[in-house]
């Protein structure tokens, strides 16, 4: 059992929970809690190391047992050590160290989210969770977006990292991926008040939805890339919506339009 905060494994986890630079150098990140460990296990993303406490739940112990059977380095730690590492108010008694991976985008693209100038980890994590729920094929992070493997992003993402391709790309790479292809995607930029109302846009076509940051909105590079601009009407007089909330509205409008197209709308209307 690990009982000292000076233990090399504890020091490594503490480092990776800190600066993005350390996570990049080690190509590793930390997940906290049973559910995220389950998600990693179910997705075939095996940890490098797992630490647990004696008061871990039966559900958590099953996860630990499966990881130990798979050859993962598993070790018990004292509760006060786990508490010093966990960033949640009440630790569930399980931490896992995982390798950073970049899942590939599918070859045929028709539904992509571009996150531009997003600095808030909670917003990015919620954005990823929402994108996964809406069936987005992949998320592109533009230069300067906050680290997707930061602890708060991981918690807010609720397992989205393990099933959703998320890649950092620079602007020439984004253009090449989305526009310089036989079937180019139409890029819609979400703006506070410019462009057409989002429900008037044709979101059935292959597209990428570009969401700007919390403070200053989309960058000039993002605006140059966009083909069209859409906005969410706000009759209540607010200046703007939270980035993740706005993305949810727009992403699920894509889902609505593609699910309830004129071809199959009659299937959902009861005859009089």
> Could you give the number of structural domains in the chain?
2
Q: Are residues 119 and 215 in the same domain?
A: yes
Do the domain assignments include residue 193?
yes
Domain boundary residue among 58, 73, 99? 99
Instruction: Give which of 140, 149, 143, 153 is closest to 113, Cα–Cα.
Output: 140
Summarize pLDDT for 249-259 with one digit per residue, the tens. Answer: 999 999 999 99
pLDDT exceeds 60 at position 262: no
Do the domain assignments include residue 264?
no
Q: In terms of C-beta distances under 8 Å and separation of at least 24 residues, what long-range contacts does 105-110 make, across chains too?
A: 105/137, 105/138, 105/165, 105/167, 105/177, 106/137, 106/138, 108/183, 109/137, 109/138, 109/177, 109/178, 109/181, 109/183, 109/185, 109/206, 110/137, 110/185, 110/205, 110/206, 110/207
- CATH number where 74 lies: 3.30.1330.30
Q: Are residues 192 and 219 in the same domain?
A: yes
Structural domain span for residue 234: 111-259
Summarize pLDDT for 117-165 with one digit per residue, the tens. Answer: 999 999 999 999 999 999 999 999 999 999 999 999 999 999 999 999 9
Radius of gyration of the chain (CA): 21
- CATH number where 129 lies: 3.40.1280.10
Do the domain assignments include residue 105?
no
């Amino acid at each position: 059992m690990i009982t000292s905060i000076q233990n090399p494994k504890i020091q490594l986890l503490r480092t990776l929970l800190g600066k993005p630079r350390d996570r990049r150098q080690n190509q590793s990140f930390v997940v906290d809690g049973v559910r995220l460990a389950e998600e990693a296990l179910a997705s075939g993303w095996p940890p490098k190391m797992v630490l647990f406490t004696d008061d871990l739940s039966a559900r958590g112990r099953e996860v630990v047992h499966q990881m130990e059977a798979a050859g993962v380095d598993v070790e018990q730690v004292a509760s006060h050590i786990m508490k010093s590492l966990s960033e949640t108010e009440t630790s569930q008694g399980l931490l896992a160290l995982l390798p950073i991976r970049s899942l590939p985008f599918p070859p045929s693209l028709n539904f992509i989210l571009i996150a531009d100038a997003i600095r808030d980890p909670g917003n990015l994590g919620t954005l990823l969770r929402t994108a996964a729920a809406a069936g987005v094929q992949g998320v592109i992070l533009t230069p300067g977006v906050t680290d997707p493997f930061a602890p708060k992003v991981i918690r807010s993402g609720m397992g989205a990292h393990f099933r959703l391709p998320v890649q950092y790309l620079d602007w020439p790479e984004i253009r090449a991926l989305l526009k310089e292809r036989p079937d180019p995607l139409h890029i819609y930029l979400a703006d506070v008040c410019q462009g057409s109302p989002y429900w008037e846009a044709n979101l059935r076509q292959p597209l990428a939805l570009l969401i700007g940051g919390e403070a200053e909105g989309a960058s000039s590079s993002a605006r140059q890339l966009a083909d069209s601009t859409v906005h969410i009407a706000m009759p209540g007089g607010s200046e703007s919506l939270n980035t993740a909330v706005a993305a949810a509205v727009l992403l699920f409008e894509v889902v609505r339009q593609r699910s309830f197209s004129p071809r199959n709308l009659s299937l959902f209307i009861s005859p009089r």
